Amino acid sequence: MLKVFALLTLLASTAVQAQTTLQSDLPLKYLEQVHPDAEPRPLVIFLHGYGSNEADLIGMKFQLPAQYNYLSVQAPLSLGEDRYQWFRKKGEGAYNGETDDLQASGQKLRDFIAQAAKKYHAAPDKVYLIGFSQGAMMTYEVGLRAPVAVGGIAALSGRVLPVLKNELKAERQPLPLHIFIGHGTADDRVPYHDGTAANDLLQKLDYKPEFHAYPGIGHSISAAELRDLNGWLQQLNP
């Protein structure tokens, strides 16, 4: 299983495990780190990468705005041994996804987002997806399709999959969406070019993504990226 949080302390990870229980009342299983009150708050939903699980990203919340609520979702397709994926890879070469998997997982995620927003009293435009690797690909898959499901997406070490890219080329107005893209220049799993290509595509479609390159960083999330992500979320809700 890919772990992306060598930078987070073991104490923080232990604290998360002690405070969270896998929830199953929504269309996808998830962990929650939320405030006990019912006040309307921004809601962040973490989407893990291939072969990982819902516990992999939840520790990020300690580096992000304290006033937010946080959920971390388990992808629907099991690989066994507590490992999961959002979609199966299609063929060899570039990381493309099986269309049926993308449609099924995308719909489950949309249903999850809508129900989670109601449960945690968050307006749809105050819900933000943060995904790593395959989870980042799902943020694009869900965030860039109408109708609008979320207020913003953060794609960390991901790419826009070909099936979506082809559809986005059609002329249409951009969705009201805040976008953060982060990618390490030394990524050997999802190449840095995939991040810049996503940024270029979205710029051409009149989106205004906030793009961050991380020199020398491989397929992981750095401390600098977490600081930038925290700043992005703070700007959205000062």
Q: What is the mean pLDDT of residues 43-64?
A: 97
Top pLDDT among 14 and 140 is at 140
Name which of 72-76, 93-97, 154-158, 160-164 the model is least confident about.
Answer: 93-97
CATH superfamily of 24-236: Alpha/Beta hydrolase fold, catalytic domain (3.40.50.1820)
pLDDT for 95: 66
Residue that the structure tokens 């949080």 belong to: 5
pLDDT category of residue 92 using cuts at 50, 70 and 90: low
d(CA 134, CA 128): 17
d(CA 6, CA 221): 9
Q: Is the pLDDT of residue 91 over 70?
A: no
Name which of 48-52, 160-164, 206-210 the model is least confident about.
Answer: 160-164
Q: What is the mean pLDDT of residues 33-47?
A: 95
pLDDT for 93: 58
The DSSP secondary structure of 161-206, one letter per residue, reads -HHHHHHHTS--PPPS-EEEEEEETT-TTTTHHHHHHHHHHHHHTT
Residue 72 among the catalytic residues: no
Q: Which residues pair with 89 in a beta bridge?
A: 97
Q: Is 208 helix (H, G, I), strand (E, B) or coil?
A: coil
| Marked catalytic residue, from 52, 105, 187, 212 | 187
| Marked catalytic residue, from 105, 178, 219, 222 | 219
Q: How far is CA 217 from CA 126, 188, 230, in A?
A: 30, 10, 18
Q: Is the pLDDT of residue 3 over 60?
A: no
* pLDDT mean across residues, the chain: 90
Residue 187 among the catalytic residues: yes
Name which of 22-31, 88-97, 163-172, 183-192 the model is least confident about.
Answer: 88-97
d(CA 171, CA 156): 26
| Marked catalytic residue, from 52, 72, 133, 157 | 133
Largest separation between any pair of C-alpha atoms in the chain:
49
Q: Is the pLDDT of residue 17 over 50?
A: no
d(CA 40, CA 166): 37
CA angle 108, 151, 1 (to 5 degrees): 50
pLDDT category of residue 169 using cuts at 50, 70 and 90: confident
Q: Is 77 helix (H, G, I), strand (E, B) or coil?
A: strand
Residue 194 among the catalytic residues: no
d(CA 90, CA 127): 30
Q: What is the mean pLDDT of residues 16-21?
A: 58
Question: SS3 for 115-169, per residue?
Answer: HHHHHCCCCHHHEEEEEECHHHHHHHHHHCCCCCCCCEEEEECCCCCHHHHHHHC
